[in-house]
Structure 1
Amino acid sequence: MPFHKKRLEAEISEAFIKQQRDLIGRGPQETKTYIVHDMVIVRFKGVLTVEEKHLVQHDTGRKVVKQMRQVLREMYSKNFEDIVEKHTKCKVLSSHSDISTKMGERIEVFVVDKDLEKCLEKEELR
């Protein structure tokens, strides 16, 4: 894997960790970004707060946590897309998100306007 791609993935992960700390007061336990063709995929592990971990043990609580996280995601989706656009220099066409209350993980997928992976490979060959 080209060094530039790894570095960009790490920079995006760090930017998202900082954003999470600013928004929620704590970041995920682990964040990993993957650039795959025209997608930037960000996987967050250990995202649930202590309170949310207690809530998700019950059906009603699980629904509440998912709804609350979805509302927060919608509120800050532009901020998330800005992070991807700033670091990749690509336009975000669409973004998608989901949280697994069972695993305590969240995933974000950003579809950008070009095959970023291919662009990075070409850049690496120069």
Structure 2
Amino acid sequence: MASPKKKLEADLSEAFIKLQRDLIGRGPQETKTYIVQDMVIARFKGVLTVEEKHLVEHDTGRKLVKQMRQVLREMYSKNFEEIVEKHTKCKVLSSHSDISTKMGERIEVFVVDKDLEKCLEQGKEL
């Protein structure tokens, strides 16, 4: 049986994928979520569309894709934060994101109001 931490990480990954499919029409090819102290870190692989892959081959296109993805992230950041708060029962203090057009990956980092990893290790109720 999976540890509470591993189960929560898997549940978060699943919820993140579902949100992206609902909002954008497609999700990443792979998602891994990690709980590290007071952070929830999500790594999304294979996030670029076919069109974006063509665009990032050129400097202008790379900047355009990064800008567009940043605007979308700002539009949907509250949705991602709500998922983290719902699943972890923690308040999200801040969130950060970046996309690598070279690797076709996006990273999301959510800082929460307690050491979630420690709480899970100690078996505390969330």
Asked if these proteins are the same fold (TM beyond 0.5), I'd say yes
Give the distance between the partners of 1:83 and 1:52, measured in 2 at CA.
Answer: 27
1:79 is displaced (CA, Å) by 0.5
Match of 2:9 in 1: 9
Residue-by-residue CA offset, 1:33-88 (whole Å, 9 max, x unaligned): 00000000000000000000000000000000000000000011110100000000
Structure 1 runs of 4+ aligned residues shifted over 4 Å read: none
1:51-62 map, 5 Å:
51-62=51-62
TM-score normalised per structure 2 = 0.96
Give the distance between the partners of 2:6 and 2:35, measured in 1 at CA.
Answer: 9
Give the distance between the partners of 1:95 and 1:72, measured in 2 at CA.
Answer: 14
TM-score normalised per structure 1 = 0.96
Give the distance between the partners of 2:89 and 2:32, measured in 1 at CA.
Answer: 19
1:35-50 map, 5 Å:
35-50=35-50
1:117 is displaced (CA, Å) by 0.1
1:23 is displaced (CA, Å) by 1.3
Match of 1:116 in 2: 116
- The letter of the residue matching 1:116 is L
1:24 is displaced (CA, Å) by 1.3
Count residues with an aligned counterpart.
123
What are the ranges of 5 or more consecutive residues in structure 2 without an aligned counterpart? none
